[in-house]
Copies of this chain bind each other. A is one copy, B any other.
Amino acid sequence: MLKLYEYSSSGNCYKIRLLLTQLNIPFERLEIDIIKRESRTPEFLIKNPNGRIPVLEIEPDNFLFESNAIMFYLSETTEFFPTDKFERAQVMQWLFFEQYSHEPFIATSRFSYMTGKAEEYREALQQKQAPGYTALGVMEQHLENHAFFVGDRYTIADIGLFAYTHVAGEGGFDLTRFPAIQSWIERVKNQPRYISIAHK
């Protein structure tokens, strides 16, 4: 069975749980406490030399890291990844946008609040507001004219962007400014076999 090494409240790990559940693929969850630096032990660095979660163990001692690469692996030949050449690249475009222009601001802000460090990191949090809102603005503009990110169908591009966007409020971002994002969040939540980030 697939083994998912994860920190449950991480949006990057939630992406994999949501996709695996929607694909109806069973998996085992193994909690790695990143606060206790359990992803930086010599034992874990064999799984991912970059010391980050999630890691998917596909078969014994066969590991894949980077959440969006794991989603690609799991979805490439399914309904959650397009068959059209240009649309396939567009899914990747939005996933790279997510990791470069969205996650470093919106996800890390949420992590500071969740770990009780918002006061300590007040200046860093302040600096993340503008780029975070820029990313949300790019999404809003796209969603004003599209039901989903690529091909007007639900794909892993939506899962990738949904994971941290729908909980952006926990990192100090106000989603009420973004009505198209809010409607899209509802569309994602209404997908078959949807599970929440808190689902056990």
- Residues in A lying within 8 Å of B, measured CB to CB: 49-50, 52, 58, 62, 64-70, 72-73, 76, 85-86, 88-90, 92-93, 95-97, 99-101, 103-104, 134-135, 138, 141-142
Contact of A50 among B92, B97, B104 (CB under 8 A): B97
**Assembly stoichiometry (copies):** 2
The 9 closest A-B pairs by CB, nearest first: A73-B89, A69-B92, A66-B96, A69-B93, A66-B93, A49-B138, A72-B92, A99-B100, A50-B138
B76 touches A93 (CB 8 A): no
A61 CA to B85 CA, complexed, in Å: 17
Residues on B with C-beta less than 8 A from A101 are 50, 52
A85 CA to B70 CA, complexed, in Å: 11
**Known contacts A49-B138, A49-B141; is-contact A72 B88 (Cβ 8 Å):** yes
CB proximity of A67 to chain B, nearest CB, Å: 8
A65 CA to B96 CA, complexed, in Å: 9
**Known contacts A49-B141, A101-B50, A142-B49; is-contact A86 B72 (Cβ 8 Å):** no
Q: Residue of B at shortest CB range from A72?
A: B92
Residues on B with C-beta less than 8 A from A67 are 96
Residues on B with C-beta less than 8 A from A49 are 138, 141-142
CB proximity of A136 to chain B, nearest CB, Å: 12
A92 CA to B72 CA, complexed, in Å: 8
A103 CA to B67 CA, complexed, in Å: 18
A66 touches B92 (CB 8 A): yes
CB proximity of A43 to chain B, nearest CB, Å: 15
A65 CA to B72 CA, complexed, in Å: 18
